[in-house]
Structure 1
Amino acid sequence: MDYTFDFSSVFRNFGPLWDGLVVTLALTLASNIVGLTLGFVLALLAMSRWAVVRLPFVLFIEFFRCTPAIVQIVWFFYCVPMLFDVFLGPMTMGIMALGLNLAAFNAEAYRASIQGVPNEQLDAAVALGLNPFQRIAYIVLPTAVRNSVPVLLTNGISTFQQSALVAIVAIQDLMYQGKMLATETYRPIETFTIVALIYFAVSFPVSQIVGYLERRREVMAS
């Protein structure tokens, strides 16, 4: 292969990549806030004893879990304004698309954890006179969050990586800035190598935390 690598042009123009990383992290953080909070609400509604309440939210969860994230992002950006005459900023649209996608996956993690709450704890809460809201706030929520932390962190990493898809709708995230820099410097190999390493540098430590938490839970359960 007759190719001379030259990373200097990328490092000389690293500012846009840094700006893109800031946008990516902000997008990921906001999407995780939506996904963590809405996911728990969806899990509770999808477990309702009444089918008329349960079925719409089950369908909502399955729709977002069973369709590609890139299709959801494009649909939000181009179809929502046309269908509902709602025009929001690109960043807001990106957060909505990624947040709802993450909420669907987090809902399944919460649901499994909620089903794992011992009946003895719920019976004790009833015996203490706690109302349904208090039982959820003081018994179900803490236990569900604690048991599902590894999955929630894994889903958060996936959202960080999937956020690269918003580049197709011109949000100036890390991937978008990488594409622009690769075009300007004529160094796509070097540019996208650096972009990949940045994604890795952020994702790898979190994945190690997930592994540690899973090993710790296995030790405590044994």
Structure 2
Amino acid sequence: MTYSFDFSSISSGLDALWHGLAITLVIALCANAIGVVTGFVVAMLSQANSRLVRAPVSAFIEFFRCTPALVQVVWFFYCVPIIFNVFLTPLTMGILVISLNLTAFNAEAYRAGIQSVPTEQHDAGVALGFSPLQRAIYIVLPHAFRLAFPVLATNGILAMQQTSLLSVVAIQELMYHGKELASEIYRPLEVFTTVGLLYLAVSLAVAQILRGVERWRALHYSV
């Protein structure tokens, strides 16, 4: 049996797909902005001297790294409102879930950079009268960020792709509109091929931009 592709059939749903792609990008950008910052904070807390601080932070990291992202999405959407009586808009909840997942993975990316900061730099910060917060921002963060950047970039692209999981809780991102269109025109192969190509195009474009940033960074900075 030979299947005849007809991509013209999806023309009626292109506006919806573009709208879904815009929502996907909004979620991905917000999640990455949050995840890059909170990942560093969580990584610093995971290195704290107090076990009372390290234990819950480590549990947070392991939970989000060792459970499926789809389970996390479903749990937050259906369990958080019931258990904690917290009700957020679907878009806000979607950004929150992807951000928390990304935070855990980014924390692990930062950890090696934080541990590699020379003791002399810490001592210099103390000698200059920097507070622990100032040492974290002005000494540890630049060093850790430079080392972690390639992994942070990869995690960011993966987070964008994980937004497709939000379609199961009816957030109207790209995958959601793809499923809706496929059920309307009965052309799932054409629809999901198009959806896949859109994800691929965005991922490749972002990867190229990040490679350019990495090359520029390598030319102007040394670790």
TM-score range, shorter chain: over 0.9
Distance 2:37 2:222 in 1: 27
CA distance in 2: counterparts of 1:8 and 1:64, whole angstroms: 41
Structure 1: segments with no counterpart, 5+ residues: none
Question: 2:30 aligns to what?
Answer: 30
Structure 2 counterparts to residues 181-200 of structure 1, below 5 A: 181-200=181-200
Equivalent in the alignment of 1:163: 163
Query: What's the CA shift for 1:209?
Result: 4.5
Aligned to 2:39: 39
Question: Take 1:13 and 1:97, find their aligned partners in 2: how far apart are those partners?
Answer: 28
Residue equivalent to 1:6 = 6
Q: 2: distance between equivalents of 1:37 and 1:152? A: 11
CA distance in 2, matches of 1:210, 1:174: 23
The aligned residue for residue 79 of structure 1 is 79
Specify the alignment match of 2:100 in structure 1.
Answer: 100
Other-structure match for 2:21 = 21
1:116 paired with 2:108, answer: no
Q: Provide the TM-score with structure 1 as the length reference.
A: 0.93
User: For the aligned residues, what is the CA RMSD?
Assistant: 2.1
Q: Describe the SS at the equivalent of 1:3.
A: coil
Which residue of structure 2 lines up, in the alignment, with residue 65 of structure 1?
65
Instruction: State the AA in 2 paired with 1:23.
Output: I
What displacement does 1:217 show?
4.9
The percent identity for this pair of structures is 57
| TM superposition outliers: structure 1 runs of 4+ over 2 Å | 205-218
Give yes or no for contact 1:122–1:135 (8 Å, CA) kept in 2: yes
Correspondence list, 1:199-210, <5 A: 199-210=199-210
**Gaps in structure 2 of 5+ consecutive residues:** none
**What secondary structure is seen at the aligned counterpart in 2 of 1:172?**
coil
Contact 1:28 1:163 in 2 (8 A): yes
Greater shift in the superposed pair: 153-162 or 114-123: 114-123
**Separation in structure 2 between the aligned mates of residue 199 and residue 137 of structure 1, nearest angstrom:** 34
Question: 1:221 Cα shift?
Answer: 7.0
CA shift for structure 1 position 58: 0.6
Amino acid corresponding to residue 30 of structure 1 in structure 2: C
Task: Note the C-alpha offset of 1:127.
Answer: 2.0
Q: 2-side partners of 1:116 and 1:208: how far apart?
A: 28
